[in-house]
Amino acid sequence: MQKYQPVFISDNTILTLTAAILEKLHAFSHQLNFNVASPKLRRDNLAKTIQGSLAIEANTLTLEQVTALVNGKHIAGPNKDVLEVQNAIASYQVLYSKNPYSMDDMLGLHGMLTKGLVAESGIFRTGSVGVMKEQQVIHIAPPASLVPHLIADLLAWVKASAYPMLIKSAIFHYEFEYIHPFSDGNGRMGRMWQTLLLSTWNPLFSYLAVEEIVKNRQQQYYDAINASTAMNNCAPFVTFMLSAIDQALDELGPSTDLLSPFLEKLLASIGNRTLTAKEIMQALHLANRQSFMRVYLHPALELGLVEMTIPDKPNSRLQQYRVRSN
């Protein structure tokens, strides 16, 4: 029986931000050009995401240096900082194939993110940790022995919760930081896992550089965490993350060369395989068939990106789909 229940009391600000974000996401779904892929846009926003997230953790590499690494170039810089970026690039390259509710996937991603950087890489911490501010302890994380159970409960909660994904992904992020499950890399993992949750719900989030917004508002980020802890209510942190997402959507702006992230994710989920609609939905972690057909499959079929195995009987129970070869 699920017992985990984060404390969250919504307010008008949260409702207003949620409505504004949903309206912008809806607008993007009509503005995207479904015909042209933009690897450059993806790389640019990946560089902003990685540089923003790592800069929060005192990585010294500039956006230009991180962009060069994303593009496969060599740069001169501190070895540790370069390795952090290289690990982050490798982690984001596989992020969207991960199950957002899998603890094993979470541990594996932490192992990639911290490879060669920390002793306890890819495992939960074995010791006690605290969060310091100006040489004062402001938060003592739960005992290490409780961490696996707390994370399992948190993942089960976010999977089952009826809250909108915009809200429950932010609640997850705050609760993750409160648990502080790793000896190092908690901030990076919390931000990355929220992105995974959001992109599973709406693939457009794989294009948003929310971490760059967080970096530019770093003190507000920490203040929101501290306020939520002090109030025993994660609403301040939810408000902050929603405002960061709202700003990231504004900064992305309409793009004429952006492949629909829905179609991009659909094609990636099929790959070289031939799958039924149900199997594709499972690969995408989708449950609503009507939405899947309208947003993913029908546009792909209309554009000739995907083809049926039985085109003369589109409603056949044996129907399968594959990526159309050029």
User: Catalytic positions, please?
Assistant: 180
Question: 301: burial class by Cβ within 10 Å (0-12, 13-18, 19+)?
Answer: middle
Q: What is the C-alpha radius of gyration for the chain, rounded to an integer number of angstroms?
A: 20
Q: Which residues are annotated as a binding site for ATP?
A: 131-139, 184-191, 221-222
Largest CA distance in the chain: 71
User: What are the structure tokens assigned to 149, written together?
Assistant: 């159970």
- The number of residues making up the chain comes to 326
Read off the tokens for 277: 């609609």
C-alpha span between 265 and 226 (Å, rounded): 36
User: Which residues are known binding-site members?
Assistant: 131-139, 184-191, 221-222
Cβ contact 246:210 at 8 Å: no
Beta-strand runs (E) in the chain: 130-133, 136-140, 306-308, 321-323
Q: Which two tokens stand for residue 162?
A: 């009826």
Minimal CA–CA distance to 225: which of 241, 210, 213? Answer: 241
Do residues 139 and 130 touch, judged by C-beta distance below 8 A?
Answer: yes
